Amino acid sequence: MAKTQHQFVCQECGAWYSKWNGKCETCGAWNSMVEEAITQHESVRHRKKDLTTFFSTLENSDNDSPLDRSRVLTHITEFDRVCGGGLVPGSVILVGGDPGIGKSTLLLQVVAELSKNSICAYVSGEEALTQLRLRAERLRVNKAAVHMAASTQLHDILEALKNLADLKLAIIDSIQTMSVSTIESAAGTVSQVRACTQELIAAAKKQGYVVILVGHVTKEGVIAGPRVLEHMVDTVLYFEGERNYDYRILRSVKNRFGATDEIGVFAMGDQGLTEVSNPSELFLANHQNEVSGTAIFAGIEGTRPILLEIQALVAPSYLASPRRTAVGWDSNRLSMILAVLEARCGLSFGNRDIYLNVAGGLKITEPAADLAVAAALISALKNKPVPNSSIYFGEIGLTGEVRPVSHSELRLKEAEKLGFTQAYCATISSRKGTIKGSVNTHILKYVLELI
Ligand SMILES: Nc1ncnc2c1ncn2[C@@H]1O[C@H](COP(=O)(O)OP(=O)(O)O)[C@@H](O)[C@H]1O
Ligand SMILES: [Mg+2]
Ligand SMILES: [Zn+2]
């Protein structure tokens, strides 16, 4: 027997309360509570069961389905790579991103490509079939053999998916529009999102198809509904980009079957998304040599090297406390590097405003960018361009030492590929320290050596 109870659920964190409160005690959010009907199943009586086959071994068993070991390739290379080298049958992937960023476009292209040799379905709760067809025409995929549907009733959808023999991939756009009739609350509430996701996960595991869920992102930049959604699924991808640029980045933030922090780069055009196989070229397209205050950072995103331009501007300040602004880079880290340059290199940034920008709107989190940031700052302060055709990488410590970073070889190779000839970096900790190639490496021990 199941009994239904009404409870108040925080839509931010998913905590349950018996009474309404203005503020959630668990996460501190205000006005986040919505009354929802929760169905609780009475605890199952303890029964005597045969548990002799409860445990098994790690070795492969003849009962394993051969599917379990082969990944499904969509042949959209950037997408496959971000997923960890293809899709794992029976897994559930959540794709989050701002409205209008291109989630539906991306997934329609993915499903169209995969449907060339596999059975695929795309169910939209957001758009009508006519709208979907118009988009497909614009993306020139309207001839693809995708099973399209517009519905928000999850139980209907699951039933229909069950009838598609040999289904490989089902897209649900978006999870916030789906609902099950067993729960009273509206679509998009925590209970609905949670229940729908649970049923989709169970169906995917049971029938061995991949489910991709689209998730909306709130103003705060997290996937709407509770964080639990991210815990439930196998893989979480974010699709991001700046409004003013036409490139988009697909980033993996959680992956049970692959590396995280992997990125895929796409360019958005009238005919949809095209893959950008050499992102460095894109990000350096507007780079000018011989301008002071810029330095090229050889970074790593996931498993891939990427060259980015760091720009710094140092200007006299008329403010009591001068401005320190960083775009695309952590401002605490900027303060630290400024302090090191002042204390260890005798430079003075005292009464100057400082702006730091990663060109192209990308965000860098790698400490390896410290050296490039320092080079751009010094160049801006001295109003002298950095040496021509040079790249920088290395972490800076508080004593002013330049510390080695991972993947030096990859970084140098990318620099070489794009025609750079000088590299300023920390000791290279790779095998034997010998790097073949035409890039002339200047190994720095202290950041002072940059000046
Ligand atoms: N007719 C069009 N021509 C060119 N680009 C379009 C057109 N319609 C939509 N787009 C692009 O597609 C984007 C919307 O993508 P969509 O996949 O619907 O986003 P999401 O599903 O993330 O909300 C728009 O922001 C725009 O860049
Ligand atoms: Mg959409
Ligand atoms: Zn809460």
Question: Which residue puts its alpha carbon closest to atom 7 of ligand 1?
Answer: 270
> What is the per-residue pLDDT for 434?
55
Question: Which residue puts its alpha carbon closest to atom 4 of ligand 1?
Answer: 270
Name the strands in the sheet holding 440-443, side by side, starting at the edge strand that comes first in the sequence: 324-327, 352-358, 304-316, 294-301, 390-393, 422-425, 440-443
- 103 in contact with ligand 1, CB cutoff 6 A: yes
Q: How far apart are CA 367 and CA 365, in angstroms?
A: 6
Question: Which residue puts its alpha carbon closest to atom 1 of ligand 1?
Answer: 270
Domain 282-450 has CATH 3.30.230.10: yes
Per-residue pLDDT of the chain (451 residues; tens, 9 = 90+): 556 678 888 888 888 898 998 998 888 889 888 888 766 555 545 567 778 778 877 876 666 555 556 899 999 999 999 999 999 999 999 999 888 899 999 999 999 999 999 999 999 999 999 999 999 999 999 999 999 999 999 999 999 999 999 999 999 999 999 999 988 888 888 889 999 999 999 999 999 999 999 998 766 656 555 567 888 999 999 998 876 778 898 989 899 988 887 889 999 998 999 999 888 888 887 777 788 999 999 999 887 899 999 999 999 999 888 999 999 999 999 999 999 999 999 999 988 999 999 987 788 999 999 999 999 999 999 999 999 899 999 999 999 999 999 989 889 989 998 889 999 998 876 555 555 678 899 999 999 998 8
- 105 in contact with ligand 1, CB cutoff 6 A: yes
The ligand 1 atom at the shortest distance from the C-alpha of residue 99 is 23
In this structure, are residues 296 and 308 in contact, taking their beta carbons and an 8 Å threshold?
yes
Q: How far apart are CA 253 and CA 230, in angstroms?
A: 10
> What is the per-residue pLDDT for 260?
81
- 97 in contact with ligand 1, CB cutoff 6 A: yes
Q: What pTM does this model have? A: 0.81
- 90 in contact with ligand 1, CB cutoff 6 A: no
Question: What does the block give as tokens for 269?
Answer: 């055009």
The ligand 1 atom at the shortest distance from the C-alpha of residue 97 is 22
- 100 in contact with ligand 1, CB cutoff 6 A: yes
Query: For the domain bounded by 72-277, which CATH number is listed?
Result: 3.40.50.300
> What is the per-residue pLDDT for 69?
64
